[in-house]
Structure 1
Amino acid sequence: MTTSQEKPASAPTSRRLQGGVLTIPNAIALSAAAMAPVLAVVLNAPAAASAAGGALPLSFLIAFIAAALVGNTVVQFSRRLPSAGSFYTFNSQGLGPAAGFFTGWLFWIGYAVLAPGLFTAFGAFVQDYVSSTFGVQIQWWIFSLAAMAIILGLSLRSIKASVNLDLALLSIEVVIFLILGVVAVSTAGTGNTGSVFLPSFAPTGFTGVGLGVVFGLLSFIGFDAAATLGEETRNPKRNIPLAIIGALGAVGTFYVFMMYALTAGYRVNDSAHMAAFLKDTSPFVTLAQHVAPWIVQPIEIAAIFGIFSCFLAIHNTTVRVMFSMGRDKVLPSSLGGVHPRWFSPDRAIYAQTAFTVIIGLAVGVWLGPGATGAYGFTGAIGTVAIVIVYILSNIALIRYFWRRADRKVFTHVIVPILGVIALAYPLYSVSTPGQAWPYNLVPFVVLIWVVAGVILFLRYRAKSPEKIAALGSFIAEDDLPLDEQPESLLAARAPSLQHPTVKEEVENTPEVEERR
């Protein structure tokens, strides 16, 4: 028996988030808020409708299925490797340290760059609302900075308070839009038709439906956010998968219903109404003005709530990825620290806040703060980076389970292959040459980021190979039996295992004997 003086060194508490403080509803709230369901239907529905036409519900239904294929990968990995690093940890274990490094590199910028766009969009939406409602002109960046200050305080003080606020705002905004949807469907009369789930209802058939799927998939970006709470959620191997399934199911059902309500309420089965529908840049506002004028202003407020809750969720997700990479010393190690009292990744929070404000103000002034300016540009960059990560994770799942005794052909091979196929077209559509300015810059921005990552990776491999070897080694439950622990986790804990007493105990365990 060891004394307190002889107790072996272990991972310092400053490198661990507070475990067991979150529940399934908390984790669902983060994923659902990151998807921003109300914001997605307000901004992505018009873009998708221009291609999919009356088959808009079909496009979102197919996107829902495609997102579920990727969701399977997150669920399967979360049952084995719950971690704040999410895909960074998953791909490190499934494809090796090099793939893990580039996953973290892309995943980090993919989420980090979404925040400046949401920063500007919030200010722009509130500015327009205040101007139209009260006749007062206030600069957008004042509202953006105020929102950032609130988010900074919430993320520092309590992840639980943050996700509870996300849940409250989500409930309000979703209920408002569901009321609009129910009213639209109940008053649609002959507009209610199952034909909207047929490709023939799209102006260009399957091609139009396919383009609509692209925007539908963009609406699901962020569903994986709950995976970054793997170290802070009770019983993460059970609850994180349930949260991801719950968030995907609830938001996916919401999308399909709202798209159906839009086409039914608009009565797109009438050729004249279809022509107007294809040209409408704000179809939900138009729908509300026709079927329920009294709900127009609540819809505007719901959109503001949706942006804020998404902003808060994306911020909390990003800082946990930064924290995980800082903990592994891929990013500056100071980012891997935890506040001694609040157990929040405070250094990562400050860094992401500074990044959001600086980039947000710069891009907002350059392109304008609205949906077609900074928000759209940064969103496109983030989408390309994140979709690449999703594709890599599907491949990682196949490799991770390939030689395992618990491998299931359908779950661990067929479904991830289908996921890769489902994501290939949206990735091509977003990054293909010939996009309008500034979206034609998106592939080059991502490429420059990848090149910077290659340089950093080669530098680490040459001068600090131990950093690469330990990538993704932290998981939520490192008290697993030795035969269930990832090899990189055992390597990361090697210094503590060299203590004479612990070394002797470990070397005499049945697991080690069996490995010999």
Structure 2
Amino acid sequence: MTKDALTDTTQHTLDASAVSLPGVLMQAITHIAPAVGLIFTVQAISGVAGIASPFALAFACLAMATVSVSVIQLSKKISSAGGYFTWVGSTIGPRAGFFVAWIFLLFEPIGAGINLAFLGGILESTLKAEFGFRFAWWIPVLIGIVLLTVVSYYGLKLSIQVVVLLGAFEIIVCVALALTGLLQPGPGGVNLIPFDPSNASSFNGLFLGIVFSIFAFAGFEQVAPLAEESRDPARTLPRAVVLSLLISGVFFLFTSWGIIIGWGTDDLSGFVSDGSPVLTLAHRLWGVGWILLLITLINSAVGVGIAVQNASTRVIYGMARAGALPAPLAKIHPVRRTPVNAVWTQSVVTAVVALGGGALFGPVGVLSFAAIIITLLVIVVYSAGNLAMWRLYSRRYPQEYNRLTHLAIPIFSTIVLLYVGYKTVSPLPEGINGWAPVVAVAWFVAGLLVVAVLSRTGRGDWMARIGRAIAADDGSQAERAGTLSDKAVGR
């Protein structure tokens, strides 16, 4: 790349209208990682909730639906690559926006790395068991990092096209396996026992299953960073949020039910104790065709990696543009129209998390450790978004303010989220995972201290300038979104 290949962001911007509704929708669905969720999360949920894991997933989907209300309402008025950083910063204040950005910088950018490490671990153990040779877990990690970087660098249109193909493939294969399980049920036959909460191992176990399920759905809100590159974002983003939750909810309910029925409701202990029960079931039902599910796992890990790259790089770019991160991170490639320095930065983060986390916790263990951290920190971000939505409509759009939509639902949502956070840490997870809440709390406290120090040392003006930059950057977008929203309802 030549020295003048990158130019000032005052001359180049993101590629406006690069993606339409299908692309934004698959960004959300792929970020949720359906296949990884099915292979990893359903077993974990069954381990605590018992046979009622599909019910836990259904309840979690409803809980996340209340969170989606804030995402929908905020994206109608403020369309920005900054996502929650912009929403919170422009409604609650620059300090709050900076704090939310601090929280975001721990949980979102690590998503690609933990999924690549998980993929490497599963591949290593599966190939050794099936074919008798060792394929070191870090090899697919390195290949994945290169692939994610290349796809992200060459533009959003390309990365979204890849995401659409990967997402569609993994959904089809997983649904096909679940359908096969229903047609060829294991011990216990076809029944609706998994949807009856009274069949859960215990009430506490059922709620812990709901906690794990919340993590399975996290990521649907990451359509927001694509706002500036979406066609008609005030309409596209809300639709993508609703559809992604609906599709992923139906997906997890049907596939978890089909997988458990295929395994056998009378043999739940075997399902929980198996090293990889979904792969084992595919082997039993499809014979040599089980390889399709292994390909789907690879597909899902790469897909969620690309989705994370898309979301993280846009938020990093948005923060740098507003002054919260070094200015070079806001550089836009003049041809590719991608935040190229943010892409390189995210790739480095992915490499450190995947290789470092895999070495420290094990390539599979790093996913469960990170899941706890992500669940706790995402609660903070979602709750801040609920507050931002209430302030935005109650103060700036009082004529549209609705007590149910803009007050009651976000209060209920926040209460549910906080209780989920409480149950995540009480009792503390066992083994090394017990340190995950400590990491999350330490990052939270560190963020508060950073904001306090910046405010007391005269850097409060710096955060205020960020706030003014956010307002200036998004004011016209908010008005444009409001106009589109008014037109949509015939005002």
Provide closer, same or farther for how the CA distance between residues 252 and 392 of structure 1 changes in structure 2, counting only shifts above 3 A: same
Larger Rg: 1
Structure-2 residue corresponding to 1:18: 15
Deviations 1:443-497 (A, max 9, x none): 2222332343234323443434443223343656726659979xxxxxxxxxxxx
- The one-letter amino acid paired with 2:392 is Y
The yes-or-no answer on 1:121 pairing with 2:113 is: no
Q: Which residue of 2 aligns with 1:46?
A: 43
1:479–1:433 distance in 2 versus 1, CA, 3 Å = closer
State, as a whole percentage, how many aligned pairs show the same letter.
27
Contact 2:44/2:272 (8 A) holds in 1: no
**Which residue in 1 is equivalent to 2:142?**
145
Partner-residue secondary structure (3-state), 1:438: helix
Q: Secondary structure of 2:363's partner?
A: coil
Q: Deviation per CA, 1:111-166, whole angstroms, max 9, x where unpaired?
A: 02223312322332333454455544343222211111111111111111112111
- From 452, 463, 466, the equivalent of 1:468 is 463
Query: Is the Cα contact below 8 Å between 1:339 and 1:345 reproduced in 2?
Result: yes
- Relative to structure 1, the CA distance from residue 339 to residue 483 in structure 2 (aligned partners, 3 Å threshold; closer, same or farther) is closer
- Greater Cα shift, 229-238 or 285-294: 285-294
Contact 1:180 1:295 survives alignment (8 Å): no
Counterpart in the other structure of 2:255: 258
In structure 2, do the counterparts of structure 1 residues 50 and 137 end up closer, same or farther at CA, with 3 Å as the change threshold? closer
Q: 1:78 to 1:484 in 2, by over 3 A?
A: closer
Aligned match of 2:307: 313
Q: What is the CA–CA distance in structure 1 between the aligned matches of 2:53 and 2:473, rounded to whole Å?
A: 41
Check 1:281–1:126 CA distance in 2 against 1; reply closer, same or farther (3 A cut): closer
Check the 8 A contact 1:141/1:361 in 2, yes or no. Answer: yes
Of residues 127-136 and 39-48 in structure 1, the stretch that sits farther from structure 2 once superposed is 127-136
1:44-193 → structure 2 map (5 Å cutoff): 44-132=41-129, 135-188=132-185, 191-193=189-191
User: Residue 78 of structure 2 contacts residue 478 of structure 2 at CA under 8 Å; is this kept in 1?
Assistant: no
Contact 2:77 2:482 in 1 (8 A): no
Normalised by the length of structure 1, the TM-score is 0.85
Distance 2:297 2:123 in 1: 10
Aligned to 1:505: none
Structure 1 window deviating more from structure 2 (454-463 vs 30-39): it is: 454-463
Q: Does 1:392 align with 2:384?
A: yes
Q: Which residue number in structure 1 is paired with residue 276 of structure 2?
A: 282
Judged with a 3 Å threshold, the aligned counterparts in structure 2 of structure 1 residues 449 and 13 are, in CA distance, closer, same or farther, namely farther
**1:478 is paired with a residue of what secondary structure?**
helix
Q: CA deviation at 1:431?
A: 3.3
Please give the alpha-carbon distance, in whole angstroms, between the structure 1 residues aligned to 2:321 and 2:400: 31
Pick one of 354, 365, 368 that aligns with 2:362.
368
Q: Which runs of 5+ in 1 are unaligned?
A: 1-9, 486-516
Is the alpha carbon distance of 1:362 and 1:275 closer, same or farther for their aligned partners in structure 2, counting shifts above 3 Å?
closer
**2:487 counterpart residue number:** none
2:57 is matched by which residue type in structure 1?
A: F
Please say if residues 55 and 198 of structure 1, whose CA atoms lie closer than 8 Å, have aligned partners that are also in contact.
yes
What 5-or-longer segments of structure 2 have no aligned partner?
1-7, 484-491
Q: CA–CA distance in 2 between the matches of 1:339 and 1:28?
A: 25
Once the two structures are TM-superposed, the CA of residue 237 in structure 1 deviates from its matched residue by 0.4
Amino acid in structure 1 at the alignment position of 2:400: D
Cα distance in 2 for partners of 1:452, 1:56 equals 36
Amino acid at match of 2:190: N
Contact 2:373 2:439 in 1 (8 A): yes
Question: Which amino acid is the alignment partner of residue 201 of structure 2?
Answer: P
Choose which of 218, 227, 231 in structure 2 pairs with 1:221: 218
Deviations 1:271-304 (A, max 9, x none): xx24434444533234334433343221111111
Letter in 2 for 1:213: I
The number of residue pairs the alignment matches comes to 469
In the alignment, is residue 437 of structure 1 matched against residue 434 of structure 2? no
Residue by residue over 1:347-398, the C-alpha shift from the partner in whole angstroms, topping out at 9 and shown as x without a partner, is: 111112122223432222222212x2x2222332223212211122112222
State the AA in 1 paired with 2:179. Answer: V
CA contact (8 A) 1:108 1:321 kept: no
User: 1:395-474 maps to which residues of 2 (within 5 A)?
Assistant: 395-403=387-395, 404-432=398-426, 434-461=428-455, 462-469=457-464, 470-471=466-467, 472-473=470-471
Are the equivalent residues in 1 in contact too, given 2:124–2:136 (CA < 8 A)?
yes
Q: Does 1:197 align with 2:195?
A: yes
Secondary structure of 1:262's counterpart equals helix
**C-alpha separation between the residues in 2 aligned to 1:220 and 1:451?**
26
RMSD: 2.5
